Chain A
Amino acid sequence: MKPLRVEREKILPAALFALLVLVPAFYFSGLIAGREISRYYALAWSLFAAAIAFAIAYTERVAFYRRIFFGVSALAFLFHFKTGLFVDTFEASCFKDTPFCHIAIAPAFLNYLYQQYLALMSPGWKLWGPLTLGAAWVFVTLALGRGWCAWACFYGGIDDALSARPGRPLLKLGWFERKFRDLPAALLVFLLLASFAYMLPVYCLWLCPFKLTGAFLDAEAPARKIQYALMGLAMTALVLGPLLTRKRIFCSYLCPFAAWQAFWGRLNPFRVTADAGKCTSCLVCVAACPMAAIRCAPGGQPEILAYCNLCGQCLDACPGGGFSYTVFGLELPARLSPFGRLLAVKYFYVFSALTLAAVFSALWGPAALRDLTLLVRGGQ
C-alpha cells in the first residue's frame, strides 16, 4: 500500500470548493427539508455533499466520489421512501400526496401536452404543470443535462453502485450492445404513442421495476400476471444486470428517461470529449463505460454516443488521459496554480451537478438520516 501523503497545497483550494458547494446546498436543502424536520438533518446532508466536493477537488478524481454520493443518495431514497410504503415507523415525509417520478414523465409527455390543452381551456390553467414540474425539468436540463443520470436520479444510483461491484464482467453483451443500444429511444417513442393511445401511463403499469407494488396494476388476472412478470424482468435487469455485466443495464436499455434526457441534454453545454491524438485503441474506455456509451469508430478511435451521462468513469480509466470535461468540446486555458486549477471546466461541471443533486436529494436524504437516528434510538 502506498503511504498516505498529505498534499498541503491542495487542502485550501479543496476546502474552498467544498464551501462553495456547502453554502447553496445547505440554504436550499434547509428550505426543502426544514418544512418537515429539523434543519440539522439538512445540514448533515449538505456536509456530506461538501465532503464529496472536497474529496473530488483534493484527489482530482470525479467518478469515484461521484459514485459514492450517487449510491448513498439512492440508498437513502430507498430507505426513506420505499420502506415508508410498507413500514409505519418510517412513514414517508416527502411525496406524501403525489409520488413524483421523472421516468414516468417522459413517456407520458403527449398525454401531458393534451392535459395542458384541456387545462388551457379551463379557468384553472395556471395551476397546471408548466409552471411547476415543467419549469423544474427545464432548469435541471439546462443546469445538468444528461448529468442527471450520473448524479441526481434516485434510481440510477442503484444501478450505478451495483455496476461497480464485480471486478470483471461475467457476461459480455457483444452483439446485443451493438444492435440494441438505441432500445431506450425506441421504447420512448413506443411508450409515447401507446400512452397517448390508451390515455394511461403504460410504462408505469407494464415495466417500471421501482413501484414495488401491484396496487394500481390491471384488475384482470391475465394482464396482471404479465405486468408482474415484466416488473420482475425489469427488476432483474436493475439488480442482476449490473452485477453480471458491469454495465448499468436498466439505465442503458430500459429507461425511457435516459433517451429523453440524451435528446434534450444537448441543451446543456457540458460534454465529455475524447482526444483522438491520445488514443492508442486499447479499448479500456469501452469496457469502463457503465452506460455502453463509447463505441469504437472506424479508425479505432473512441466515439462518445449521446447516451453519455458525464459520469467521468472513462476519464479515470483511460491510461493516456484522453478524455476531459469540456464546454461544447472546448477546454478553458490550463492554470497550474493550486487555486487556478479550480477554474477548469471539470470543476464548473462538478459544482453545478453536485450542488443541484444535493439540493434535489434534500427531498429524502435528510429524512433518511432522521429515520436512521430513530432506528438507532429504538424507533420513538
Chain B
Amino acid sequence: MPALFFEGALLGLSTGFYCLTACLPLLAPYLMAEGRALWKENVKILLQFLGGRLAAYLIFAVLASLAGQAGKYVMPGWLLPAATAACGLTMAALAVFRISAGPSACLLKADLNPFFKRLPLAIGFVTGINICPPFAAGLLRLLEIADVPRGVAYFTGFFCATSLFVSPVLLGTPWLGPRANDIGRLTLLLAGLWYAALGLTGLLTGQWA
C-alpha cells in the first residue's frame, strides 16, 4: 500500500504544474474576492478547496477501481459540464451579490449566506473531476490496479503531491486589501461567467457524450 501511495505521489510531483494551471483560474478569483489579510481565513478557504478536490479524487478512485474490477469503465459524462456550469453560475451569483452590495467597507457588514461559504468545496470538486493529462494517466493505472483500498492509496498520494503545487497561492493573500477584494469580485464574475458558459456549452452540445 505505501508503495502505491508513493507511486501516486511521484506522478503528482512530476505533473503538478498542470494541476496548477487548471486550479488557478477557479481558485484565485475566489481567494481574491473573499480572502482577508489574515492567514487563518485564507487557509480555511484553501482547506475547503483541497477537501473538495480530495473528495472528487476519492470518488474517482473508488469508481475507477470498481470499473477495473468489472473489466470496463463507465463514467457519467454529463457530470463535469454540469458541475462546471453549476459552479460557474454560483461564482457569478456570489460576485453579483457582492458587487451590488456597495463599496467594500460596507460589504464587511453584509455577511455571506453559508451556502456561498462552501463554494471553495464545490470549486475543488470541479477541478478534481476535471480530466487533465496527469489525471488520465492516474486513471489508467487505477483500472490496472482494480482494487479499491489500493486505488484510494494511489490517488491520495497523487492528491498530496499535486496540492504542493497549489498551496503557494496562499503566499500572496496577506496583502489582500479592500481594493484587491473589489478587483477580485469582478474577476470572480468574469471567471464565473466563463465557466458557466463552458459548462452549459458542454451540456448543450453533448460534447461529453
Residues of A within 8 A of B (CB): 179-180, 182-183, 185-187, 189-190, 193-194, 196-197, 199, 222-223, 226
Contact = CB atoms under 8 A, between A and B. Distances in A.
Q: Is the interface of A mostly helix, strand, loop or mixed?
A: helix
Nearest to A187: B190
Nearest to A306: B179
8 closest A-B pairs by CB: A186-B186, A193-B25, A186-B187, A190-B190, A197-B21, A185-B183, A189-B187, A182-B183
Given A182-B182, A222-B201, A222-B205, A190 B22 contact: no
A95 to B, nearest CB: 30
B183 A190 contact: no
B21 A190 contact: no
Contact of B183 (A186, A197, A222, A223): A186
A194 B201 contact: no
Chain A CB count within 10 A is highest, among B21, B189, B197, B205, for B21
Contact of A190 (B179, B194, B197, B201): B194
Interface in B20-40: 21-22, 24-25, 28-29, 32
Interface of B: 21-22, 24-25, 28-29, 32, 99-100, 179, 182-187, 189-191, 194, 197, 201, 205
Contacts of A185: 183, 186
Contacts of A196: 21, 24-25
Given A179-B100, A226-B197, 11 more contacts: A182-B182, A186-B183, A186-B189, A187-B186, A189-B29, A190-B190, A193-B24, A193-B25, A194-B191, A194-B194, A222-B205
Q: Is the interface of B mostly helix, strand, loop or mixed?
A: helix
B22 A189 contact: no
Contacts of B205: 222
Contacts of B100: 179
Given A182-B182, A186-B187, A197 B25 contact: yes
Nearest to B25: A193
A183 B186 contact: yes
B32 A189 contact: yes
A180 B190 CA distance: 12
Contact of B191 (A190, A199, A223): A190
A190 B29 contact: yes
Contacts of A226: 197
Contacts of A179: 99-100
A183 B28 CA distance: 16
Chain A CB count within 10 A is highest, among B99, B190, B191, B201, for B190
A180 B186 contact: yes
Chain A CB count within 10 A is highest, among B22, B25, B191, for B25
Given A179-B99, A186-B187, A186-B189, A194 B182 contact: no
A167 to B, nearest CB: 32
13 contacts: A179-B100, A182-B186, A186-B183, A186-B185, A186-B189, A189-B183, A189-B184, A190-B25, A190-B190, A194-B25, A194-B191, A196-B21, A197-B25
Contact of A193 (B28, B179, B185, B201): B28
A70 to B, nearest CB: 28
B17 to A, nearest CB: 9
A218 to B, nearest CB: 12
B65 to A, nearest CB: 29
Contacts of B21: 196-197, 199
A293 to B, nearest CB: 15
